[in-house]
Each structure stands twice: as structure tokens, then as C-alpha cells.
């Protein structure tokens, strides 16, 4: 494990989140905006559903031939003058990156937004070795100032309100006039732009992630709205691309399909503002761009997901639509999930990467409402995969003892229809009698979880099967 996980404390995290007024206010921004915009974008493109199918198929095809596409990709990167490094795990990736930075004698490193860089915890590693990493995506910059993890994969600071950002800027940007006005979001943006502009120009190395890698041409692709990823990669002497293995796609045609669903699913845009295709270092015919181009291909658990039911998760293109549509995410936000990836995609991916013993709560904390799957651009069956994690937990006896014994008790009766009918007849009769006056219970033994927030409706009394037997069985054919 690389980044410390608080996933085992999911329940406590969630309880804290539910009582955090600032967070709850900020989460309101997720509930409507993203959902409406995605729907409008989908409605405007009649081929959207067909593109989702195509995107799923492209990813499946690539994963089934991943070894061969990786070979082709590697060859192309080398041919264009770039370097490809393979990292089995986070520690190897960190060392490779540090070595490249040392080779160029780097003092500061600018960074585009990259979830894999969060996953491998590169920032702390660079800092510990005397190199200053500077996040340049506005949201990432804000959370770096606060020493937090992103709470959303495309909107890292979605858990914060403008007043909190203002406080951070005043705390950190001490070289600026203390009396300046920062009451409007645009003033915060302007300040960050000016501060980061200097960082861009001074950086020795730029690190970006990759939304996709193209085997046909050895190209890495980043998608941003701010342009920070581009300034990160064209200004410094060295550009390092961090990418997990599953970012690969075969051709420019294939990536064009995926790009058609990515922004629409994420922000509801036709296309993000900047889609950048980078191939190798600057050419002799170029007037700018990096002199060195490195790609660090990181496995960190992916190759073991292939060939299992969790292979489907490797289709994920990190659009964030699943969390934007998740009632649980809406309620508790991203930090409660306790590691790098929140929401439904995190609930499936995190146990694969840090172990279901650590992250077991995540696939359990779902109502299985299925809204995530219904919007996933690559049609990942997220509820099904969460259920698969529950099955693995059950097989490994990680399911809590109370749940296991409850299931056993209920299963015992459910498998014995006669006993079931007798027991339920007695129990429901008693319960109905007890709840007769109000029609519901504000408290019931062993039901605290339910009755803490809601009453428990009383049963009508006689069970359906008892009444059916009494009224109908005689006349049935």
C-alpha cells in the first residue's frame, strides 16, 4: 500500500462527513450540475448509446490483446525518441520517476492532474528527496495546499467551498497584499493563475498522467479544461507520462470513439477544451516542447485483474459519472471512501488494489440502485462487481459475524417452507398486535439501524400465505 488508507474506518468517515456542514453544502454542487449536463449532452447525440457500446468493445478488445498492444506501443515510443519504463508496483514507479528527475537535476516538478500519481504517492516521495512537486490543476493545487487527497476523480476539490479556498490562499500566498479582495471565485482563479504561471515557467520536469495511450503511434493523450496539463508538458525540459497498463487503445480511430463519450459523461461537454496528443520529445522542426520524453507504465495490480471478473473494471476511463450519480457519494463525499478512488468505481477498484480486507466496506456500502452502471460510458457492471467482492468476502469469512449469523438464521427458515409459514404466522401476528395502535414502531429490538432514522411499519397481521390457504386453497384447481 502506498497512500495510507482509512477505508477500514469507512463508517466513522461517513458519519463525520454526514455531520460536516461545509461538506454537505459543497456536495450539493455535485447533485444537480453534473447529472443534468451529462443528460443534455447524451440527448444531443443520437449515437451516444452506440458509442458506449463501441467504447466497451474497444476496451475489451484491447485488454484481451494487452500484451501485444503494449509491445507495439513500446516500439513506437522508442521510434519517436521516447523512453518507456515498466514498474511492477508503486515503489518501483516512484524510484523510476525520482531517477529521471535526478538525471535532469530537477528542483521543481510541475504536475498535471493524474490519479495514478495519487495512487503511487509520488508527491511525498519527491518532497522527501528534496524535489518540490507543484500540482497545477486548480482543484489539485487547492488540495495540495491543504495536504488532502482528491475527493473526486475529475473535480478534486469538489468537497470545498470558496471561503475555504480563500482561507488557504491567504495562508499560503503570503507574498500578496493581505488586504486583497478574494470574495469572488474569479478572483481566486486569477490569483492561482498568476502564482502557478511562475511555477510553470520555472519547472525542470513536468509530470502528467494519460487518459489514453495509442499503440498505433506511441502517443500519450491528456484531456484538460484548464490547459495546465499542456503547460506542464511543453515548458520543462523533461516530460514524464505516468500511466497504468489499461490506458492503452489500439488506434487513433479507437481513441476518437472513446473521446466522444469521455467528456460527455464527465462534464457534459462535447469535448474537453484541450485534448493533447504527445508523441516523443520535441523534433528538430519544433520551436518548443520537452527535450526528453519518458513514459512510466505502471502495473500495480492490474495484470492480476485480467482474466478475472474484475477485468471489466479495467475498461474504466475515469470520467466520474458513476460517482456523480451515486446516492452514497452524494451523501458522504469522496474522502469517506478512505483511499484514492471514491464512489462506485472506487468501491470496485480499491479492493483490487489494496485488498478486500482493507476496503471491504466499500463494495458493501451500496444500495445497488444501479444508477452508476446506467451511466457508465464503457458499461462496467459496477453493482455486479461490488457483489463479487461481497462473495469473496463471504468465502473468506470476512463478512461480519452478525451478518453471517443473521443470514444463517433466516436461511434456515427460508429453506423450510412449512416451518417458515408457521414461524412467520406467529411472528407477524404478534408484531401486528403490538403495533396495532400506531401502525408503526419507533423502536424494535435488534433494529436500531432502522429505527434510528425511521419508524418501522407494523405488519397487517395474517400473512398472505396463511390467508390464501384459508380463502383459496380449497377452490384452487
Partner 1 sequence: MSVLPSQGRPAKPRVGLFVTCLVDLMRPSVGFAAVKLLEDAGCIVDAPVQTCCGQPAYNSGDRGTTRDLAMRMIEAFQGYDFVVAPSGSCAGMIKAHYPELFEEDPNWRAKADALAARTYELTSFLVDVLCVTKVDAAFNGAVTFHDSCSGLRELGVKTQPRKLLASVEGLTLVEMKDSDVCCGFGGTFAVKYSDISGAIVDAKARNIEDAHVPTLLAGDLGCLMNMAGKLSRDGRLIQVRHVAEVLAGMTDVAPIGAAKADAIK
Partner 2 sequence: MSARDDIFGNIRRSLGVNGSETIRRQIVADRLERAPKGVIPKRGQVSGEERIALFKTMVETSLATVTEVASPAEVPQSIALFLRNHNLPATLRMGDDPRLKAMPWSDTTLEIAHGPSRGSDLNAVSHAFGGIAESGTLAMVSSADNPSTLNFLPDNHIIVVSAKDIASDYESVWNRVRFAYGKGSMPRTVNWITGPSRSGDIEQTLLLGAHGPRRLHVIVVRE
CA dihedral of residues 161, 165, 166, 171 (deg, nearest 10): 140
Q: Which residue has the cell 414502531?
A: 441
Q: Furthest-apart CA pair in the chain: how many Å?
A: 93
- By CB under 8 A, the count of residues binding partner 2 is 101
CA atoms within 13 A on the CB side of 100: 27
CB 137, CB 155: distance < 8 Å: no
Alpha carbons 139 and 155: distance in angstroms, whole number: 7
Helix (H, G, I), strand (E, B) or coil at 71: helix
Q: Is residue 43 packed enough to be buried (19+ CB in 10 Å), middle (13-18) or exposed (0-12)?
A: exposed
3-state secondary structure string across 322-355:
HHHCCHHHHHHCCHHHCCCCCHHHHHHHHHHHHC
Alpha carbons 81 and 69: distance in angstroms, whole number: 19
**Segment near partner 2 (CB under 8 A); pick from 44-52, 385-393, 394-402, 438-446:** 44-52
Residue 297 lies near partner 2 (rule: CB under 8 A): yes
Residues in 243-272 that interact with partner 2 by CB under 8 A: 245, 250-254, 256-257, 259-260, 267, 269-272
- Closest distance to partner 2 from the beta carbon of 117 (Å): 17
Residue 151 lies near partner 2 (rule: CB under 8 A): no
Give the distance from CA 127 to its chain's centroid.
Answer: 25
From 9, 24, 80, 132, residue interacting with partner 2 (rule: CB under 8 A): 80
Residue 165 lies near partner 2 (rule: CB under 8 A): yes
Residue 304 lies near partner 2 (rule: CB under 8 A): yes
Give 145-164 as a DSSP string.
Answer: HTT---SSSS-TTTT--HHH
CB 353, CB 367: distance < 8 Å: no
Residue 462 lies near partner 2 (rule: CB under 8 A): no
Closest CA to 350 of 382, 398, 373, 394: 382
Look at residue 59 and give the partner it binds from partner 2, partner 1, none, a contact being a CB closer than 5 to 8 Å depending on partner kind. Answer: none
Residue 291 lies near partner 2 (rule: CB under 8 A): no
Residue 139 lies near partner 2 (rule: CB under 8 A): yes
Residues in 383-402 that interact with partner 2 by CB under 8 A: none
- Closest distance to partner 1 from the beta carbon of 353 (Å): 20
Look at residue 289 and give the partner it binds from partner 2, partner 1, none, a contact being a CB closer than 5 to 8 Å depending on partner kind. Answer: partner 2
Look at residue 135 and give the partner it binds from partner 2, partner 1, none, a contact being a CB closer than 5 to 8 Å depending on partner kind. Answer: none
Residue 22 lies near partner 2 (rule: CB under 8 A): no
Residues in 180-199 that interact with partner 2 by CB under 8 A: 185-186, 188-190, 193, 196-197
β partners of residue 231: none
- Closest distance to partner 1 from the beta carbon of 472 (Å): 8
Alpha carbons 193 and 91: distance in angstroms, whole number: 33
Looking at the Cβ atoms of 188 and 319, the one nearer to partner 2 is 188
Look at residue 51 and give the partner it binds from partner 1, partner 2, none, a contact being a CB closer than 5 to 8 Å depending on partner kind. Answer: partner 2
The residues binding partner 1 (CB under 8 A) are: 11, 14-15, 18, 327-328, 330-332, 364-371, 373-374, 387, 389-395, 399, 403, 407, 410-411, 413-415, 417, 420-421, 424, 427-428, 436-440, 442, 447-450, 452-460, 462-465, 467-468, 472, 476-477
Amino acid at each position: 500500500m502506498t497512500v495510507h488508507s482509512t477505508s477500514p474506518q469507512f463508517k466513522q468517515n461517513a458519519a463525520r462527513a454526514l455531520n460536516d456542514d461545509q461538506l454537505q453544502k459543497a456536495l450539493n454542487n455535485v447533485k444537480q450540475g453534473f447529472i443534468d449536463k451529462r443528460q443534455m449532452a447524451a440527448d444531443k447525440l443520437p449515437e451516444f448509446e452506440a458509442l458506449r457500446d463501441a467504447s466497451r468493445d474497444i476496451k475489451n478488445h484491447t485488454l484481451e490483446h494487452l500484451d501485444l498492444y503494449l509491445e507495439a506501443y513500446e516500439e513506437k515510443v522508442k521510434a519517436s525518441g521516447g523512453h518507456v519504463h515498466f514498474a511492477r508496483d508503486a515503489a518501483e514507479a516512484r524510484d523510476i520517476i525520482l531517477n529521471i528527475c535526478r538525471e535532469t537535476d530537477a528542483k521543481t516538478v510541475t504536475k498535471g492532474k493524474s490519479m495514478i500519481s495519487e495512487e503511487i504517492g509520488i508527491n511525498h516521495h519527491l518532497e522527501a528527496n528534496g524535489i518540490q512537486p507543484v500540482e497545477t490543476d486548480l482543484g489539485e493545487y487547492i488540495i495540495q495546499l491543504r495536504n488532502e487527497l482528491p475527493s473526486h476523480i475529475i473535480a478534486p476539490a469538489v468537497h470545498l467551498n470558496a471561503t475555504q479556498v480563500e482561507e488557504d490562499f491567504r495562508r499560503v500566498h503570503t507574498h500578496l497584499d493581505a488586504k486583497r479582495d478574494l470574495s469572488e471565485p474569479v478572483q481566486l482563479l486569477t490569483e492561482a493563475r498568476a502564482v502557478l504561471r511562475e511555477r510553470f515557467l520555472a519547472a525542470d520536469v513536468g509530470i502528467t498522467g494519460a487518459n489514453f495511450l495509442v499503440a498505433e503511434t506511441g502517443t500519450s493523450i491528456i484531456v484538460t479544461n484548464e490547459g495546465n496539463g499542456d503547460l506542464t508538458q511543453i515548458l520543462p525540459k523533461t516530460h514524464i507520462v505516468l500511466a497504468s497498463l489499461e490506458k492503452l487503445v489500439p488506434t487513433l480511430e479507437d481513441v476518437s470513439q472513446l473521446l466522444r463519450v469521455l467528456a460527455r459523461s464527465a462534464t457534459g461537454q462535447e469535448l474537453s477544451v484541450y485534448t493533447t496528443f504527445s508523441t516523443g520529445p520535441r523534433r528538430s522542426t519544433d520551436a518548443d516542447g520537452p527535450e526528453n520524453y519518458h513514459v512510466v507504465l505502471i502495473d500495480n495490480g492490474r495484470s492480476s485483474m485480467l482474466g478475472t471478473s474484475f477485468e471489466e473494471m479495467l475498461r474504466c476511463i475515469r470520467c466520474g459519472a458513476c460517482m456523480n450519480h451515486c446516492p452514497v457519494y452524494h451523501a458522504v463525499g469522496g474522502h469517506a471512501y478512505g483511499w484514492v478512488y471514491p464512489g462506485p468505481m472506487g468501491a470496485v477498484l480499491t479492493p483490487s488494489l489494496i485488498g478486500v480486507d482493507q476496503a471491504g466496506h466499500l463494495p458493501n456500502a451500496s444500495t445497488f440502485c444501479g444508477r452508476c452502471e446506467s451511466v457508465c460510458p464503457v458499461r462496467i457492471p459496477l453493482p455486479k462487481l461490488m457483489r463479487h467482492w461481497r462473495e469473496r468476502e463471504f468465502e473468506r469469512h470476512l463478512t461480519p459475524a452478525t451478518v453471517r449469523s443473521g443470514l444463517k438464521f433466516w436461511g434456515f427458515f427460508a429453506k423450510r417452507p412449512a416451518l417458515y409459514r408457521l414461524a412467520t404466522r406467529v411472528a407477524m401476528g404478534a408484531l401486528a398486535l403490538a403495533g396495532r395502535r400506531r401502525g408503526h414502531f419507533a423502536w424494535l429490538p435488534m433494529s436500531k439501524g432502522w429505527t434510528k432514522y425511521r419508524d418501522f411499519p407494523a405488519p397487517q397481521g395474517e400473512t398472505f400465505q396463511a390467508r390464501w390457504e384459508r380463502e383459496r386453497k380449497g377452490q384452487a384447481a
